[in-house]
Amino acid sequence: MDRPPYFLAHIPTYSAHISTYSAHLPTHSAYVSTYSAHVSTYSAHVPTYSVHSAHVPTYSAHVPTYSAHVPTHSAHVSTYSAHVSTYSAHVPTHSAYVSTYSSHVSTYSAHVPTYSAHIPTYSTHVLTYSAHVPTYFAHFPDH
C-alpha cells in the first residue's frame, strides 16, 4: 500500500526534528543525571534533618526557661559586681591596717633584745626577794 504524498513530504521535517532531539539527548541525560545526584544527596540528608527537626520542639521549650533565668543571672552578676566594688573600696583601709600592724611588729621586735637583756636582772631580783620572804614572815608571830 502506497504512503500518501502528504506523509512523504513531511519525512525530511520529522527526520530533522529527530536529529535535533537526538543531538540534545546527551545534554538532557546529563541534566537528568545531575538532578538524580542532587535528589540522592538530599534524600541521604533527610534522616539527619528529621533527627534535628525532632529536637526543635525541645530547644524551643528550653528557650522560655532560659529567658526566665536571665534576670536572675543578671541580678547575681550585679550583686557580685557590687561586692567586688565594696571589697576594692576596703583594700586601701586593709592595706593601711597591715602597714600599721607591720610597724608595731617591727617596733616590738626591736624591743625584744632589750627585754631579753633585762631578764637576768629581773631573775636576780626575784631570787633576792624570794630569799627575803622567810625573814619577812618571821616578823609576824603565829596567832
Percent of the chain having pLDDT more than 70? 94
pLDDT of the residue at 7: 67
pLDDT for 26-72, tens place per residue?
888 889 889 999 998 998 888 888 888 888 888 899 999 989 999 99
**What whole-number distance in Å separates Cα of residue 48 and Cα of residue 41?**
12
Question: Per-residue pLDDT averaged across 85-96, rounded?
Answer: 89
Helix (H) or strand (E) holding 88: helix 5-138
**What whole-number distance in Å separates Cα of residue 47 and Cα of residue 35?**
20
Closest CA to 109 of 98, 101, 119, 99: 101
**What whole-number distance in Å separates Cα of residue 143 and Cα of residue 91?**
68
**What whole-number distance in Å separates Cα of residue 132 and Cα of residue 126?**
10
Q: How many CB atoms lie within 10 A of CB 92?
A: 9
pLDDT of the residue at 118: 92
